[in-house]
Amino acid sequence: MEHILNCCLKQADSAEIIYAQRESMPVKFESNKLKCIRLKQTEGIGLRVIHHGQIGFSSTTAAGDIASNPDRIDKLITYAMESASFGQEARFVFPSQPETLKDVCIFDKETALLSDREIKTMGEEIIACILEKEPDIQCGLEINRSMSTIRILNSSGLDVSYEKSHLSVSVEGLLVSGQSLIWVFDGEWSCKYSKDLLSKIPQKIIDVLSLTKKDAVVKTGQMPVIFTPHVVSILLEPIELGLNGKMVQKGVSPLGERIGQQIVDSRLNIMDDATIDFASNSCPIDGEGVSTSKSALIENGILKRHLFDLQTAGLMNSKSTGNGYRSFDSLPSPHCSNLVVQPGEMSLDKMIKQMKNGLIVQQVIGVGQGNVLAGEFSVNVDLGFKVENGEIVGRIKDTMIAGNVYETLNHLIEIGSEASCYDSILAPPLWVDGVSVVSE
């Protein structure tokens, strides 16, 4: 890596190299039976240069032997230099070595040592637990154990690296009930293996299925809705997009001029936090070597900041927020790490008991439909339940919900007390009013 950087600096004014290596082992089950076990390995180098004030970039997957192959080094550098001739004007300098790095726990030795046999057994036990209660269900399951190594060095003296483990478990079940097909889904994402997975995931699937035994009818109109942690992302996606520094810089974000203004209910607090131990998207540095942090995005309903990488921050006369994420074969772009919604004080059970007439939305189809940037959403309810006088009376079918995120989150009734993690979002249930419901 140092040799490539030194060779590049004979031509470029400044340069940066990112090296990424990943080994993953997905184990897949279909229809309750093992389908395949695979071992995937990827390795690559990305080279970003600044020459005559313009950005150039190239990448290669031939990272294993590139250091000993002068021709490949020359091609990597040549392509980066050529692209700089028509690249964007650089509005940043590469960062120097940070004085300290966040001590974020993202490597778990037990996860790293999980064998294919152990993962296969884990999958079989999860499916067996579900079949014990629901013998007619057809389960699909994927467990993916991965290990990653990242290293970034540049001409400003930065040289940082880290290792990360990751374990994702996703389970889906398909059940025929009369003339209906019921599909349920759940999962866990973490950098750390936990034996609780073997009972936690099956129980969540079983609990949801127990609520699908009866059907209920819902009328078209506006009504209160409880968004479970599975689907809170519907409400967060437009906000995350609006906070993206590129959207702000292009002038298309509805949140571009609203720093310091109240945009949602004053009880809502939303953070971006890359420092949570063993969380899915935690890391000590972003894809440019800038230290990550825990930062408030929305505090008591008030917008506090936008998210920037180095280039976007430079264009906006601001500073990077440590949110420049990337793969080795792409340029950095602003993104959230772990998006965290601060829990409230009311349990989901209490929410349901206090709801006179409304819906619980557990799963949806069609996330992203509508003008997402403007905050609009319109999705089909894949799995939802009708609540009447504090009790779940049955599963709803052929139903759609729609609204505007900013209006919806200003009609907040309660914030749940139990947060759950779904991929990179840690959120509690949100009980809101005035959601448009359309039933066929």
Distance CA 240, CA 272 (A): 10
Distance CA 397, CA 383 (A): 8
Structure tokens at 226: 């409880």
The answer to whether 171 touches 205, Cβ cutoff 8 Å, is yes
**Three-state DSSP class for 207?**
helix
pLDDT score of 67: 67
Q: Is the pLDDT of residue 368 over 60?
A: no
Read off the DSSP letter of residue 342: P
DSSP string, 276-337: STT-TT--SB-TTSPBP-EEEEEETTEE---B--HHHHHHTT----S-EE--TTS--EE--S
Convert the pLDDT of each residue in 386-423 to its tens digit. Answer: 999 999 999 999 999 999 999 999 999 999 999 998 88
pLDDT score of 280: 92
Convert the pLDDT of each residue in 288-338 to its tens digit. Answer: 999 999 999 999 999 999 999 999 999 999 999 999 999 999 999 999 999
Angle at 184 between CA 183 and CA 190, to 5 degrees: 145
pLDDT score of 264: 97
Distance CA 29, CA 225 (A): 34
Question: Mean pLDDT score of the chain, rounded to an integer?
Answer: 93
The answer to whether 395 touches 216, Cβ cutoff 8 Å, is yes
Give the list of residues 6+ apart from residue 406 with CB closer than 8 angstroms, or none.
Answer: 238, 254, 263, 264, 375
Structure tokens at 16: 């940066």
Gyration radius of the chain over CA positions: 24
Structure tokens at 153: 């060095």
Alpha helical stretches, state H, 210-287: 233-243, 245-249
For the chain, percent of residues with pLDDT exceeding 70: 98
pLDDT score of 369: 64
Structure tokens at 158: 């930065």
Other beta carbons within 10 angstroms of residue 326's beta carbon come to 18
Alpha helical stretches, state H, 186-232: 197-209
Distance CA 101, CA 291 (A): 6
Is residue 106 exposed (0-12), middle (13-18) or buried (19+ Cβ within 10 Å)?
A: buried
The answer to whether 193 touches 114, Cβ cutoff 8 Å, is yes
Convert the pLDDT of each residue in 217-268 to its tens digit. Answer: 999 999 999 999 999 999 999 999 999 999 999 999 999 999 999 999 999 9
Nearest Cα neighbor of 204 from 170, 167, 168, 166 is 170
Distance CA 410, CA 257 (A): 19
**Three-state DSSP class for 128?**
helix
Q: Is the pLDDT of residue 372 over 70?
A: yes
**Three-state DSSP class for 135?**
coil
Tell me, yes or no, if the pTM score tops 0.75.
yes
Half-sphere exposure of 5 (CA within 13 A, CB side): 17
The answer to whether 332 touches 286, Cβ cutoff 8 Å, is yes
Q: Is the pLDDT of residue 185 over 60?
A: yes
User: What domains appear along the chain, each with residue ranges and CATH number?
Assistant: 2-207 (3.30.2290.10), 215-235+343-439 (no CATH), 246-341 (no CATH)
Q: How far from 255 is each of 161, 235, 321, CA to CA, in Å?
A: 34, 15, 17
The answer to whether 17 touches 46, Cβ cutoff 8 Å, is yes
Half-sphere exposure of 48 (CA within 13 A, CB side): 28
Alpha helical stretches, state H, 355-436: 405-408
